[in-house]
Amino acid sequence: MVGAGLGGLATAIRLAAAGRRVLILEQNERVGGKLNLLQEAGYTFDTGPSLLTMPWVIEELFAAAGRRMADYLTLEQIEPTCRYHWLDGTTFNAWQRLPQLIQEVERLSPADVPGLFRFLAHTARIYDAVADTFLLKPFGGLRELVTPRLARDGLQIDALRSVDAAVRSFFRSPYLRQVFNRYATYNGSSPYRSPATFNVIAYIEFAEGGWYVRGGMYRLARALQHLAADLGVELRTGTPVARIAYQGGRVSGVHLASGERLPAAQVVVNADPSYAYRTLLPGQERIATRLARQETSCSGFVLFLGVNRVYAQLAHHNIFFSSDYPREFAAIFEKGVPAADPTVYVAATALTDPEHAPPGHMNLFVLVNAPTLGPRVHWEREAAAYRDLIVARLERMGLSDLGRHIVYERIWTPADIAARYNATGGAIYGWASNSPFAAFLRPPLRARGIDGLYFVGGGTHPGGGIPLVLLSGRAVAEYLAADTHCTPA
Ligand SMILES: Cc1cc2nc3c(=O)[nH]c(=O)nc-3n(C[C@H](O)[C@H](O)[C@H](O)COP(=O)(O)OP(=O)(O)OC[C@H]3O[C@@H](n4cnc5c(N)ncnc54)[C@H](O)[C@@H]3O)c2cc1C
């Protein structure tokens, strides 16, 4: 296994539970990949995911390994799932409990209550139609999709209009439209271009809730690491793989950066497939070139701020919306530049886990969607000014004198995300889903032309985000078992 991101850990766990011998090689000193940790000066920050959806996927992974999730980690639901803030002082709490949610919609825009019900019913039908084909089964490509079921469900999945067009048909309030459009960013895409099928993300969050791992999201990576160890998975951290060896159309092992060679009959790559084809698989330049032309998901510009006061208006998750959402996405996806008026996400986990900041302080994880690396942005020159713009924006939106209260600070640009995880361009979620055909362009779980080589994680199927990469692990383990008749290796 190349990489100990969540997809890699999930695959290793399933293979080990099925009696296979598994060795994970991770270049970094800690497992978890993009789900990672920063602890300094009395502050604890999750450096990647802060919100967990579809918690049953984790429970099912533990159950598949014959263990109880509760023995390894505790999940808790966060209410409200998110607090939204606008420049004019308007706020909206996305409560998961339906009566509270209805009251909140009524407070903001009474005319939109029936639209909320219609939206949830509509997106529930989408979930019903896509869950099996795209999420729960290994995705075998277009051919497997063209079935009688497609004819029945085709219209139901609402793939022919954008997320935004669908949201407009259900909600009148510009505030609610912005709230529901935001779910397209959960896979790093634009609501103005991604198909309305992705409104299913909103349904999943409202139906199943937004979750957190008690103690911090990084506990999930640790729990999977412990589970893998309990099942006998061998892990070597600080061990970059330099090349994947193959001969006669069959994988034969890996070469480490240290020069060591390790033979293997199967290699599962959890590293970004685009990076892998470019760097680890000499002779595969044609695929590397094709992948380089595909649109990646957005990246992120991150501030880790320790502040010496408490902002009472903050919930655990907060969004400070831009005043021009279409322009923000045009900047990121069409122009390839940071948005001048960005939407700012702020997580304050010390509100749930007080040990994440000293008493009377807060740990603010500040994330702004940003373009992946490209010719039009030079972060080494622009990062400091962009940081100032974001802090000034938060001050204007109510976090008064934020700049004066910052006593600890770190900045990560898309270049840092790219370098830490070998994520092409610093893409957070792999590929963008900005077209109805994007899913078909992802590299398959089973590499074409090299037997015994597999991909797992956000860069393959079904996509990025914690639950999807864990499901990717389930799918690739099923493929591997089918290909090798599950004989312990
Ligand atoms: C800032 C940020 C915020 C996010 N927010 C959320 C959120 O709120 N909710 C959510 O669900 N998701 C979120 N995500 C996305 C989520 O983190 C990812 O989709 C998921 O963690 C990716 O897992 P993966 O299995 O694809 O592997 P990755 O995390 O990409 O891990 C790949 C691993 O491979 C290793 N590797 C690469 N090359 C080599 C090599 N040559 N040799 C050895 N090892 C190698 C890397 O070091 C890494 O550990 C966020 C991500 C980021 C960065």
Q: What is the pLDDT of residues 277-332, one digit of tens each?
A: 999 999 999 999 999 999 999 999 999 999 999 999 999 999 999 999 999 999 99
> How confident is residue 428, by pLDDT bands cut at 50, 70 and 90?
very high
Number of neighbours of residue 398 by Cβ within 10 angstroms: 15
User: Ligand 1 mean position to 353 CA, how many Å?
Assistant: 23
Which atom from ligand 1 is nearest to the alpha carbon of 9? 25
Cβ of residue 17 lying under 6 Å from some atom of ligand 1 = no
Task: Give the separation between CA 92 and CA 94, rounded to whole angstroms.
Answer: 6
- Determine the pLDDT at residue 149: 64
Task: Look at residues 11, 46, 60, 356 and name the one whose alpha carbon lies nearest to residue 219.
Answer: 46
Which atom from ligand 1 is nearest to the alpha carbon of 50? 8
Cβ of residue 240 lying under 6 Å from some atom of ligand 1 = yes
Question: Which residue's alpha carbon is at the smallest distance from atom 14 of ligand 1?
Answer: 49
Task: Give the separation between CA 72 and CA 222, rounded to whole angstroms.
Answer: 9
Cβ of residue 5 lying under 6 Å from some atom of ligand 1 = yes
**Mean pLDDT, residues 356-383:** 98
Question: Which residue's alpha carbon is at the smallest distance from atom 7 of ligand 1?
Answer: 49
With beta carbons less than 8 A apart as the criterion, state whether 341 and 323 touch: yes
**Mean pLDDT, residues 431-450:** 91
- Determine the pLDDT at residue 130: 87
Task: Look at residues 479, 27, 18 and name the one whose alpha carbon lies nearest to residue 266.
Answer: 479
Cβ of residue 58 lying under 6 Å from some atom of ligand 1 = no
- Determine the pLDDT at residue 141: 61
Place of tokens 């990246």: 299
Which atom from ligand 1 is nearest to the alpha carbon of 6? 25
- Determine the pLDDT at residue 136: 76
Which atom from ligand 1 is nearest to the alpha carbon of 412? 1
Is the pLDDT at 387 greater than 60? The verdict is yes
Burial of 1 (0-12, 13-18, 19+ CB in 10 A): buried
Q: What are phi and psi of 293, to 5 degrees?
A: -85, -15
Cβ of residue 271 lying under 6 Å from some atom of ligand 1 = yes
- Determine the pLDDT at residue 366: 99
Cβ of residue 11 lying under 6 Å from some atom of ligand 1 = no
Is the pLDDT at 420 greater than 90? The verdict is yes
Burial of 226 (0-12, 13-18, 19+ CB in 10 A): middle
Angle between helices 379-396 and 414-421 in degrees, nearest 10: 120
Task: Give the separation between CA 41 and CA 78, rounded to whole angstroms.
Answer: 26
> How confident is residue 31, by pLDDT bands cut at 50, 70 and 90?
very high
How confident is the model over 72-113, as pLDDT tens digits?
A: 999 999 999 999 999 999 999 999 999 999 999 999 999 999
Is the pLDDT at 486 greater than 80? The verdict is no
Which atom from ligand 1 is nearest to the alpha carbon of 420? 47
- Determine the pLDDT at residue 148: 64
Which atom from ligand 1 is nearest to the alpha carbon of 458? 26
Relative to beta strand 250-256, strand 261-263 is: antiparallel
> How confident is residue 487, by pLDDT bands cut at 50, 70 and 90?
very low
Is the pLDDT at 416 greater than 60? The verdict is yes
Cβ of residue 82 lying under 6 Å from some atom of ligand 1 = no
How confident is the model over 138-190, as pLDDT tens digits?
A: 666 655 655 666 666 667 899 999 999 999 999 999 999 999 999 999 999 99
How confident is the model over 206-225, as pLDDT tens digits?
A: 999 999 999 999 999 999 99
| Beta bridge mates, 368 | 301
Question: Which residue's alpha carbon is at the smallest distance from atom 6 of ligand 1?
Answer: 49
User: Ligand 1 mean position to 202 CA, how many Å?
Assistant: 22
User: Ligand 1 mean position to 28 CA, how many Å?
Assistant: 12
Number of neighbours of residue 381 by Cβ within 10 angstroms: 8
Cβ of residue 3 lying under 6 Å from some atom of ligand 1 = yes
- Determine the pLDDT at residue 14: 98
- Determine the pLDDT at residue 137: 73
With beta carbons less than 8 A apart as the criterion, state whether 26 and 34 touch: no
Ligand 1 mutation target, pool 51, 82, 270, most atoms within 8 A of CB = 270
Cβ of residue 10 lying under 6 Å from some atom of ligand 1 = no
Cβ of residue 50 lying under 6 Å from some atom of ligand 1 = yes
Burial of 44 (0-12, 13-18, 19+ CB in 10 A): buried
**Mean pLDDT, residues 53-60:** 97
**Angle 306-307-310 from CA coordinates, rounded to 5°:** 130
Which SS3 state, helix, strand or coil, does residue 76 take?
A: strand
The HSE-up count of residue 353 (CA atoms within 13 Å, CB side) is 24
Q: What is the mean pLDDT of the chain?
A: 95
Cβ of residue 421 lying under 6 Å from some atom of ligand 1 = yes
Which SS3 state, helix, strand or coil, does residue 370 take?
A: strand
Which SS3 state, helix, strand or coil, does residue 314 take?
A: coil
- Determine the pLDDT at residue 133: 76
User: Ligand 1 mean position to 409 CA, how many Å?
Assistant: 23
Ligand 1 mutation target, pool 6, 34, 316, most atoms within 8 A of CB = 34
Question: Which residue's alpha carbon is at the smallest distance from atom 35 of ligand 1?
Answer: 3
How confident is the model over 115-132, as pLDDT tens digits?
A: 999 999 999 999 998 888
User: Ligand 1 mean position to 421 CA, how many Å?
Assistant: 7
With beta carbons less than 8 A apart as the criterion, state whether 6 and 35 touch: yes
Cβ of residue 276 lying under 6 Å from some atom of ligand 1 = no
User: Ligand 1 mean position to 85 CA, how many Å?
Assistant: 28
Q: What would you report as the CA-atom Rg of the chain, rounded to the nearest whole angstrom?
A: 22
Burial of 456 (0-12, 13-18, 19+ CB in 10 A): buried
**Mean pLDDT, residues 469-489:** 83
Task: Look at residues 414, 308, 398, 383 and name the one whose alpha carbon lies nearest to residue 346.
Answer: 398
**Angle 49-54-60 from CA coordinates, rounded to 5°:** 110
Which atom from ligand 1 is nearest to the alpha carbon of 417? 53
Q: What is the DSSP letter of 134?
A: I
Is the pLDDT at 456 greater than 90? The verdict is yes
Cβ of residue 25 lying under 6 Å from some atom of ligand 1 = yes
- Determine the pLDDT at residue 440: 84
Task: Give the separation between CA 133 and CA 150, rounded to whole angstroms.
Answer: 10
